[in-house]
Amino acid sequence: MGGCVVAYIVVGVLAALGSVLKGTEGARAFFVFGDSLVDNGNNNYLATTARADSPPYGIDFPTRRPTGRFSNGFNIPDFISRELGAESTLPYLSPELNGERLLVGANFASAGIGILNDTGIQFVNIIRIFRQLQYFQQYQQRVSALIGAGEAQRLVNEALVLITLGGNDFVNNYYLVPFSARSRQFALPDYVKYLISEYKKILRRLYDLGARRVLVTGTGPLGCVPAELAMRSRNGECSAELQRAASLFNPQLVQMISQLNSEIGSDVFIGANTQQMNNDFINNPRRYVACCGQGPYNGLGLCTVASNLCPNRDVYAFWDPFHPSEKANGLIVQQIMSGNADYMHPMNLSTALALDMAKASSLNH
């Protein structure tokens, strides 16, 4: 018991140190990989239907204009950048991402993608995860030309990386249509095992490309998003099958992260239980209704200027039929920063940042 008390004291000190050091973390680069939960505009540059570049998207963003984020305002990477004391990363495809701005990092995420390459095929021209990793290599070459290979490698090794994958492998693949190819190939438990094994390869590839501090988010409550309620729910209950998928996927993701860290010999990967974070926030009267949409739960179709639009986005967990509101994104990042073991494994991000800062400080002396 005494050991536990000491451990909690150490964690508390490190978390406090993290908040003190937040302002000096600005020099740390930040890289983002994944899907629409973290895409901040790459799909604007692609011929795809998976876009968020028209109103009312961005209605609460500082510019009041759509940016390509699937949100009324900031998304999860924006709030993490703020915690790092840095400006938001630019989409990798943005022509503005050059020169000194490359040193801030880059966002490679693309709405519609999944762990598997056949996920989101209906969106056609999106940046699948293997291509995002190729762009990461290309980025490193560009930065090497700017500051030299050694400094570029150090920038990448010392960076924070966020990766968000998995949700689309269920809603835009396995459950996209009845009797989908993947659902005929795999029973759900076997499909989840396959996804986890493929995800492990992706994370290992990130490590091989130089990532040394990687935040990995699980899926949200897939069966409770307004789009699924509109299609599957009779009395407002969440889809049991999709909730089962999330409850199988998320614990196995944590197990895989622990295994991968053990193989590497360091806690490179940190798992975030975003399903539990979402569950906490959506436990209110408007929990399952989208702010922007139409039909039952505002869960049908796209969010457009013709959609129903709520006046107070801050009391809604969901902005559109699939994506969290800015308010929910901010609360999720608060838990990522300071959540306990129910939410973060093996540590929260404040603790990880503080450990990294202490390590960097010892190397400099």
Catalytic positions are 36, 320, 323
Alpha carbons 365 and 359: distance in angstroms, whole number: 10
Alpha carbons 261 and 254: distance in angstroms, whole number: 11
Residue with tokens 């963003």: 61
Query: Are 258 and 345 a contacting pair, CB within 8 Å?
Result: yes
Q: Which two tokens stand for residue 187?
A: 């029973």
Helices and strands (H and E) in the chain: how many: 12, 8
Alpha carbons 223 and 201: distance in angstroms, whole number: 27
- 119-125: long-range contacts (C-beta < 8 A, 24 or more apart)? 119/168, 119/169, 119/172, 119/173, 120/50, 120/168, 120/172, 120/173, 122/49, 122/172, 122/176, 123/48, 123/49, 123/50, 123/172, 124/47, 124/48, 124/49, 125/46, 125/47, 125/48
Closest alpha carbon to 164 in 228, 249, 241: 249
Closest alpha carbon to 332 in 254, 274, 270: 274
Query: Are 316 and 327 a contacting pair, CB within 8 Å?
Result: yes
Q: Which two tokens stand for residue 46?
A: 């692609």
Radius of gyration of the chain (CA): 20
Alpha carbons 47 and 121: distance in angstroms, whole number: 13
Residue 162 bridge partners (DSSP): 32, 215
Alpha carbons 160 and 352: distance in angstroms, whole number: 10
User: What is the pairing mode between strands 292-293 and 308-309?
Assistant: antiparallel
